[in-house]
Structure formats: structure tokens, C-alpha cells
């Protein structure tokens, strides 16, 4: 099984997964390197472009949709962090992490 973290951007950009990347991702899956729960931080639906970041809001939405679909397809449990103030999102993330650990 290959992780969504690596497949999502490649799917968006239209790149195939290389043999080397596929082998490493299979090793990660086989060895259980990552937990099956993923903190999925939802978009604030706001993009402020900079000299470096030049993604449109539509592209950002698509990026999120692809990641969500890939994680679900691979059987990960998405622990959603809804839009909101940074402190509320951080507190919610901390509660979710604590719940997973217990």
C-alpha cells in the first residue's frame, strides 16, 4: 500500500510513481511506519499568494480533495480539523492526538 502523502501531489501534477518511490512506500506500509489515523486539516478557503506560493484557491481545493481521496482509498482514518482560529484548531488537534494515544 502506498501513502497518500506521496501520491496526492503526483496525481495532481500527472506524474507516475517511480519504481524507487513505490518500493519505499511499500516498505513504509509493510513495516507500519505511520499510524493509520491522519490529521486532515481542512482549508480555510483563503489563499494569500506570495513570491513563492502561487497556487489559486481552486488549485488548493483540488489539492485537498486529491489528498482526501487517496488517504480514504488506502484505508486511512481521517481525523478532521475544521476551519477556525489557529488556537481552536491546535486544541482540537491535541485532543484528537490524545484520543488516538489512549
pLDDT digits (tens, 9 = 90+) for 12-71: 667 777 888 888 888 988 998 888 899 999 999 999 999 998 889 998 898 888 889 888
Residue 38: per-residue pLDDT: 93
Q: How many structural domains does the chain have?
A: 1
pLDDT digits (tens, 9 = 90+) for 78-90: 999 999 999 999 9
Under the banding of pLDDT at 50, 70 and 90, the label for residue 7 is low
Instruction: Convert 2-34 to b/e letters by CB count within 10 Å (16 or more is b).
Output: bbbeebbebbeeeeeeeeeeeeebeebeeeeee
pTM of the predicted protein model: 0.73
Q: Domain limits at 73? A: 4-101
Amino acid at each position: 500500500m502506498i501513502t497518500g502523502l506521496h501520491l496526492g501531489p503526483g496525481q495532481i501534477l500527472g506524474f507516475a510513481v517511480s519504481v524507487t518511490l513505490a518500493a519505499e512506500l511499500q516498505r513504509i506500509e509493510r513495516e507500519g511506519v505511520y499510524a493509520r489515523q491522519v490529521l486532515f486539516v481542512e482549508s480555510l478557503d483563503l489563499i494569500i499568494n506570495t513570491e513563492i506560493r502561487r497556487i489559486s484557491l481552486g488549485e488548493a481545493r483540488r489539492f485537498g480533495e486529491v489528498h482526501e481521496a487517496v488517504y480514504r482509498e488506502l484505508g486511512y482514518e481521517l481525523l478532521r480539523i475544521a476551519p477556525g482560529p489557529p488556537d481552536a484548531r491546535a486544541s482540537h488537534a491535541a485532543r484528537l492526538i490524545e484520543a488516538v494515544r489512549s
